[in-house]
Amino acid sequence: MDTTELENEHLEDKNIQSSIPSQFLKDDNTGEDKEIKEIVFSEKEETKPQVAESVCPPQGRLNNYITNGVLLVMIWFAISSISSHGQYPDENSFGLLIVFFCSLIAGKLMEVSKISSMPPLPPLLGMLLAGFTIRNAPYISEHVHISSEWSSTVRNIALTLILIKAGLGLDIQALKRLKNVCLRLSFGPCLMEACSTAVISHFLLNFPWQWGFLLGFVIGAVSPAVVVPSMLKLQEEGYGVEKGIPTLLMAASSVDDILAITGFSISMSIVFSTGGILHDLLTSFRDVIIGVLLGTFLGIFLQYFPSEDQTNLPMKRACLILSLCISAVIVSNSIGMHGAGGLFTLMLTFIGGMNWTTNKIGVQKIITFAWDIFQPLLFGLVGMEVSVAALKSDAIGISIACMSLALLVRISCTFFLVSFAGFNFKEKIFIALSWIPKATVQAVLGPLALETARVSSPHLEPYAKDVMTIAFLAILITAPNGALLINILGPRLLARHDPN
């Protein structure tokens, strides 16, 4: 008993002695302790709303989606009611609203749904399938109607936004640094695929030569909507950065689209013209000259107006660009000058943005926001143009064969053109295979020939329907497969550069 009491007293003395310096230390560091406590409590208070988010009532991102959706519906209802003189909104605006929300939801689902060890699929694939489902579902197709005029207007606006993004996105420094291989990669594969498509479709689909070249330029363009996000992801992870492969492909994709749209516009003028070949070529050359000159003149105007000292500069520049370019594209198409509006848009945005030392990124963000609104409408409307009842099994097989043969020519040509640019074998394989996704330009250009044929030349409508079908199949096959190839082969074939 005595020994245990002595041991307890000894332990108590040690505890008292050890507590004294700790108290002194605490007293000396009271300010630091208070600061630490305040930081901890402030972090807890900041994180409380995130932890306390609930589904009913919804908060956070879900609340934002519901608010924006209701706001969009009410704006649509108000504008439609005013335009229809106080009556209920008409069926065209209702159909566009249904297509927009269905395509947006399908794109989000495609983006969220991920398979283990597989990269995500592009959202535009879900948008395309949503429009296809609306057109071919028995009950829905009877209640969703959109006139050709409304559909044409939406596609023209989407085409304008694509051209604006391409013009503003041209990186002059990257083009100067990689000018030789970039020019080869921009012009060679697109022209070779267009020419090979014209030859193959002439013999397999019995297309006239002018329709063959029109089809070639429709499916000859690569899709920046698939290539650019994938390249940015590889660039952030350091793959291929040392040789500038992501920068090369992003810069060349814009020029590739410009070439395809220009070739398509010239082919459209030739196909739907009533004059001879020489007259058609002179008319196309006239459209090119008018578009380039007007775009250059107004591009120089936009370099100085509005001036740098004004407020809300990005918004003013974006509104000027949108109003000028959309008007030019719609007016040029209505008067038969199909190539002038597109070239006007490209020259205006490229030259106008050269002197924008500041706020160019702000303008691009506004244009991107507008594109995010029209992208679901564009791909949803393209999906609605394809009817299962009108498709023929043999036509689908021949169309896929035609597209696949032309794609093989494009891959081979791309591999050959980058063989003398300092890339190794694996890098050349990656560049050739990453140059196949098709989506955005095909979604815009595919239906244009069909709409023009319905209005001006009904006897050419079968060719235009075949062009539309092949464009749809090109998006459906190459967009997801191209995205998968880029994301899977990039880390395996490209050397990783660690900046640290």
Mean pLDDT confidence for 464-473: 90
Among 31-45, 124-138, 301-315, the minimum mean pLDDT is found in 31-45
Mean pLDDT confidence for 228-240: 85
The model carries a pTM of 0.74
pLDDT at 262 (0 to 100)? 83
pLDDT at 9 > cutoff 80: no
Euclidean distance between CA atoms 49 and 28, whole angstroms: 35
pLDDT at 95 (0 to 100)? 86
Place 253 in a pLDDT band, splitting at 50, 70 and 90.
Answer: confident
pLDDT at 483 (0 to 100)? 87
CA angle 365, 367, 371 (to 5 degrees): 110
Chain segment 108-149, per-residue pLDDT in tens: 888 887 766 666 778 888 899 999 999 888 888 788 888 888
> Who wins on pLDDT, 169 or 238?
238
pLDDT at 55 (0 to 100)? 60
pLDDT at 115 (0 to 100)? 66
Q: Cα dist. 415→119, 189, 228, 420, 430 in Å?
A: 25, 9, 20, 10, 9
- Topology of domain 152-493 in CATH is Na+/H+ antiporter like fold (1.20.1530)
Euclidean distance between CA atoms 362 and 130, whole angstroms: 32
Chain segment 199-219, per-residue pLDDT in tens: 999 999 899 999 999 999 999
Place 235 in a pLDDT band, splitting at 50, 70 and 90.
Answer: confident
Longest Cα–Cα distance in the chain: 124
Which of 230, 243, 233 is closest to 181 using CA atoms? 243
User: Is residue 499 within 8 Å of residue 238, measured between CB atoms?
Assistant: yes
First to last CA, the chain: 67
> Who wins on pLDDT, 278 or 128?
128
pLDDT at 397 (0 to 100)? 87
pLDDT at 81 (0 to 100)? 58
pLDDT at 2 (0 to 100)? 47
User: Is residue 411 within 8 Å of residue 433, measured between CB atoms?
Assistant: yes
User: Is residue 341 within 8 Å of residue 333, measured between CB atoms?
Assistant: yes
pLDDT at 62 (0 to 100)? 73
Strand partners, 239: 496
Question: From the centroid of its chain, how far is CA 372?
Answer: 8
Q: Cα dist. 282→191, 285, 500 in Å?
A: 21, 5, 57
Place 409 in a pLDDT band, splitting at 50, 70 and 90.
Answer: very high
> Who wins on pLDDT, 230 or 212?
212
Q: Which DSSP state fits 311?
A: S
pLDDT at 383 > cutoff 80: yes
> Who wins on pLDDT, 135 or 254?
135
User: Is residue 399 within 8 Å of residue 146, measured between CB atoms?
Assistant: no
Mean pLDDT confidence for 461-477: 90
User: Is residue 113 within 8 Å of residue 92, measured between CB atoms?
Assistant: no
Token pair listed for 277: 């070949």
Which of 228, 226, 230, 257 is closest to 123 using CA atoms? 226
Phi, psi of 368 (to 5 degrees): -65, -40
Q: Which DSSP state fits 119?
A: P
pLDDT at 77 (0 to 100)? 67
Which of 155, 135, 123, 136 is closest to 95 using CA atoms? 135
pLDDT at 122 (0 to 100)? 84
pLDDT at 415 (0 to 100)? 93
- The type of residue at 184 is R
Question: Which parts of 305-435 fold into alpha helices (H)?
Answer: 313-334, 338-354, 360-384, 393-417, 425-433
Chain segment 59-104, per-residue pLDDT in tens: 777 777 777 777 667 666 665 555 544 444 567 888 888 999 999 9
Among 103-107, 120-124, 220-224, 424-428, the minimum mean pLDDT is found in 120-124
Q: Where are the domains of the chain?
A: 152-493
Among 30-39, 213-222, 241-250, 274-283, the minimum mean pLDDT is found in 30-39
pLDDT at 191 (0 to 100)? 94
pLDDT at 500 (0 to 100)? 59
The rounded radius of gyration (Å) of the Cα atoms in the chain is 29
Instruction: For 338-347, give one letter per residue: b (16+ CB within 10 A) or e.
Output: bbbbbbbbbb
Euclidean distance between CA atoms 68 and 89, whole angstroms: 20
Token pair listed for 206: 């019995």
pLDDT at 32 (0 to 100)? 42
**Mean pLDDT for all residues in the chain:** 79
